[in-house]
Amino acid sequence: MYKEIETLKEVVLGNGEKISPVASLEDKYGQRIHIVLDDHCYVLYLEQAAIEAGGAYMINHINKDVFNLLKQLPEPV
């Protein structure tokens, strides 16, 4: 189960690029899902604490916790 956390100002992707999430969630294992606004769309990135190389990676699965948070966000513009 993921819970909304204070949104990080900056997240580093696996390729070194930096993004600024509009919302973030975290589970009890330290995995974080960041919601980012990109090209008028919301994009999801997973950041796993266990990944040694670090960085967040785009995901395409939306669980109920992420879905409920997305419903609260304004329409992407």
Contacts by residues 4-12 (CB-CB < 8 Å, ≥ 24 positions apart): 4/69, 5/32, 7/34, 8/32, 8/34, 11/45, 11/47, 11/56, 12/54, 12/55, 12/56
pLDDT top residue among 42 and 57: 42
pLDDT in tens, 7-21: 989 998 888 899 999
Whole-model pTM? 0.86
